[in-house]
Structure 1
Amino acid sequence: MNAVDADGGHRDGAGLAEVTGLLPARVLDDSAGTRVIVRRERSLPGAQLDLIETRGG
């Protein structure tokens, strides 16, 4: 999926994915109907990155 801005325009360098079906069933046992959606995009110039962001770019 492509990420979009608040005005509905395409957001370059960003993406979305639904990972609900990839998680073990026990993770969502108490949350019927819950969907898990993740977002990835490039950091802003000068942003403070954590270990994972630094390693993964």
Structure 2
Amino acid sequence: MAAFVDPRFKTRYISPEQVEAIKERVLCEMMDEDPSQSEAEIPEGTGGQGAEEEGQQSSP
């Protein structure tokens, strides 16, 4: 999957029929990814909790 999102990945070297199949497979892999795994990769201070953390820090 990482190769597909790499800007150097050239779909023009692959037949259009195969490109569609690859895109579908990549989407399926992204949808099936374990959510707990992707949450662990998010650095602290970013993501959905950032606004809550900022609100707590701005309180005197």
The bucket for the TM-score relative to the shorter chain is under 0.3
Higher-strand-fraction structure? 1
RCO greater where, 1 or 2, for CA within 8 Å and sep 6 or more?
1
TM (normalized to structure 2)? Answer: 0.26
TM (normalized to structure 1)? Answer: 0.27
Higher-helix-fraction structure? 2
